[in-house]
Amino acid sequence: MTHFFNFEADFMDTLHCIPMVVRMKLDTCGIKLKLTHWNQLSSLEKEALITMPCLTAEEIETYQSFLQQLVTTKTGQPAGELPTETNPPWLNTTVIPDMLLEKAAEMDVKITPQQWEKLTPLERFALIKLSRPSHENQNFYPALKEFHLI
């Protein structure tokens, strides 16, 4: 079953924004998918990217290949590539990224190691993404609430 967060509800009907579940897969396979690329995809293509697995080395390679083929077909050139992390922070259940702790502290929220450990990898990914200075942080507080951290 595909998981979307409540804080993403305002765009889930139309899928005009890239959902966190896909964003995590993009980071996993090292693809820089622009929103303009995403919005050129059909509903069926978006659904495929949402539901396709992207965990094992084989799945990651298949996902990357499928996505690059889609983007190349739509735009005439492949999407940009990003470096991937061998041990991404969202899979680490013992270390909370400093940037995330700092963003939470700005809202007088303290995330404990026990809370961090109980989160799913997708929840940890979302919090990391939403805490980045370059990101619009409007969904950070709703995510904290949704994940029962406040």
Coil, strand or helix at 125: helix
- Three-class secondary structure of residue 99 per DSSP: helix
pLDDT (0 to 100) of residue 5: 87
What pLDDT is stored for residue 34 in this prediction?
94
Report the b/e string of 105-122 with b at 16+ CB within 10 A: eeeeeebeeeebeebeeb
**Residues 43-99 pLDDT 10s:** 999 999 999 999 999 999 999 999 999 999 999 999 999 999 889 999 999 999 999
Q: Tens of pLDDT along 99-127?
A: 999 999 999 999 999 999 999 999 999 99
Phi, psi (degrees; rounded to nearest 5) at 31: -115, 135
- Write the secondary structure of 10-68 as one string of H (helix), E (strand) and C (coil): HHHCCCCCCCHHHHHHHHHHCEECCHHHHCCCCHHHHHHHHHCCCCCHHHHHHHHHHHH
**What pLDDT does 138 receive?**
83
- Indicate whether 3 pLDDT > 90: no
Contact 100, 131 (CB under 8 A): yes
| Cβ–Cβ under 8 Å, residues 98 and 136 | no
Residue 70 DSSP label: H
Q: Please tell me the number of Cα atoms within 13 Å of 96 on its side-chain side.
A: 19
pTM value surpassing 0.75: yes
Higher per-residue pLDDT: 137 or 128:
128
Residue 2 predicted with pLDDT over 70 = no
